[in-house]
Amino acid sequence: DAKTTQPTSMDCAEGRAANLPCNHSTISGNEYVYWYRQIHSQGPQYIIHGLKNNETNEMASLIITEDRKSSTLILPHATLRDTAVYYCIVSSLLFGNEKLTFGTGTRLTIIP
């Protein structure tokens, strides 16, 4: 699996858009970009994933650059409940199964 690089921590004001970057310069053609988050004392929670097109769901948007070497997770109107550690992961689908390797992520703090 390709490795990812994320900032260790970020702050964002409540109500503003939180933009979390991720570099994955060695991503290969069949690898997806996944984002998870982990709120304190809970297990990680799936947010969104994508291959090459931008994706949006009820939680967030995922913007993947054309060369696929980096991506940005966007939380459009951050709330205090979005304070968490955010993990960017790249992984291929092997026979329909996924083995995900989590790094240390970005600790996002939403400031009131």
Interface positions with another protein (CB under 8 A): 34, 36, 41-46, 49, 87, 95-105
Burial code (b: 16+ CB inside 10 Å, e: under 16) for 6-20 equals beeebebeeeeebeb
What is the residue-wise DSSP string for 19-80? EEEEE-TT--TTEEEEEEEE-TTS--EEEEEESSS-EE-SS-EEEE-TTSSEEEEEETT--G
Closest to another protein by CB, 43 vs 112, is 43
Please state the closest distance from residue 46 (CB atom) to another protein, in A. Answer: 3
Please state the closest distance from residue 41 (CB atom) to another protein, in A. Answer: 8
Closest to another protein by CB, 36 vs 78, is 36
Closest to another protein by CB, 14 vs 38, is 38
Length of the chain in terms of residues written: 112
Please state the closest distance from residue 60 (CB atom) to another protein, in A. Answer: 13
Closest to another protein by CB, 83 vs 91, is 91
Please state the closest distance from residue 96 (CB atom) to another protein, in A. Answer: 5
Nearest to 22 by CA among 10, 14, 12: 10
